[in-house]
Amino acid sequence: MTPLCDALALMLGQTFFWQAGAFIAAFGAASGALAATAGAMDQPRAQTKAEKLALVHAGFMGSAWLLATIGLLGRIDDAFLAVAPAPWWAIAAGILAFLVMVAGAWCGGEMVYGRGVGVRDRT
């Protein structure tokens, strides 16, 4: 969502969207850390059905989290207030994080719907 907030801030020139982007980036980094913890706990089981795909998924999602966190660091100042406008590199990190996350989400969907990771057998 940060790329959307960035686009709106640039088009409309309203500080609110820079603030919203910073808040969303912080929420995304925190929830991504929680999701990564759950994923790490499930990794051994996922690798039994999709060994390489589980590692690729983890790599994509870890990279997306890192990029999002880097973007967050550019969106806040020393007092943890939103920077308006965000620097170009924070905007670029948010866009890259989104693209990498889409690739990781595809891998996650393929693991569940294509390989049956986390799906209980009904036999």
Instruction: Report the half-sphere exposure of 83 (CA within 13 A, side-chain side).
Output: 17
5-16: pLDDT as tens digits: 999 999 999 999
As a whole number of Å, the CA-based R_g of the chain is: 17
φ and ψ of 82, to 5 deg: -65, 140
CA distances (Å), origin 27, targets 9, 30, 34, 97, 118: 19, 5, 11, 14, 26
Domain extent listing, the chain: 2-114
37-92: pLDDT as tens digits: 999 998 888 888 888 999 999 999 999 999 999 999 999 999 999 999 999 999 99
